[in-house]
Amino acid sequence: MNINNLFGVKDKVVLITGGSRGIGEMIASGFLANGAKVYISSRKIKDCDATAKRLSEKYESECISIPADISDLNGINKLFTNFDKYNNNLDILINNAGAVWGEPLHKFSEDGWDKVMDLNVKSIFFMIQKFLDLLKKNTTSDNPARIINIGSIDGINTPYYENYSYSIAKSAVHKLTSVLAAKLIKDNIICNAIAPGPFPSKMLGSAVEHDYSVISKKNPSGRVGMPEDIAGLAIFLASRAGQYTVGETITCDGGLVASAGHDLTND
């Protein structure tokens, strides 16, 4: 029952897609601060490299950049090949890379549909497929490997914004999580999802012009999410403490879903 045994992730090998900023960077910070070896991937090489360097220096722990565009199978294969040069096993896979698209219903574009579905849903399935053997490498019933998929409360509530493909894709992520969890638990791989609410990020910032005060006031908790909120939940799911939690989608939203999706933009 020692806290370090319950929540320890020291020396775990972690891969986080979309890890160069926002929620991905927050989760990477949490694992690095607790002694894990973290690999981050994102589409923009310069940003990915800069974040890895900064986090390595800040936490005095190894964060390695492996840039890749995983919206198609070629990018996923490239990421796998480059990761395999560093490590031949993987303890924790965090599928965080995502995109959003907003347009009115009457002119919502095919590009907006396909881009979001490819990155937010298809890439998760094929990332898990590609990295499955590495996840199986060292896993045991006493120390299972973990997959954490990042969904969204927009996949649970009906969103205010017209982000049709995004909310539907995130709902699909939650369902995909439970389907794969039932399959993978037999291989000692635990799969869960997190459905974040509002966190400071480029994605949310563009919608509110980086003024989070209105959202904070309308959140039951009176604020937007902090790095400790999302990193703490991810560490729980990746540690001994979360070993009996399987196939769940856990909200991390300050009470928005519990408050029936309280409107963030209007009284």
Q: Read out DSSP for 166-189?
A: HHHHHHHHHHHHHHHHHHHGGGTE
Query: Phi/psi class of residue 181: alpha, beta or left (left: φ > 0; alpha: ψ in -120 to 50)?
Result: alpha
CA neighbor of 135 nearest in space, from 175, 173, 93: 93
Instruction: Please give the order of strands across the beta sheet that includes 92-95.
Output: 63-65, 37-41, 13-17, 92-95, 145-150, 189-196, 249-252
Among the listed residues 59, 164, 166, 212, the single catalytic one is 166
166 tagged catalytic: yes
Reading the block at residue 266, the tokens are: 């209007």
Which helix (H) or strand (E) covers residue 149, if one does?
strand 145-150
Reading the block at residue 2, the tokens are: 């020692």
Reading the block at residue 204, the tokens are: 């949310």
Using the 8-state DSSP alphabet, how is residue 158 labeled?
P
Q: Are 231 and 27 in contact (CB under 8 A)?
A: yes
Which residue numbers are catalytic?
166
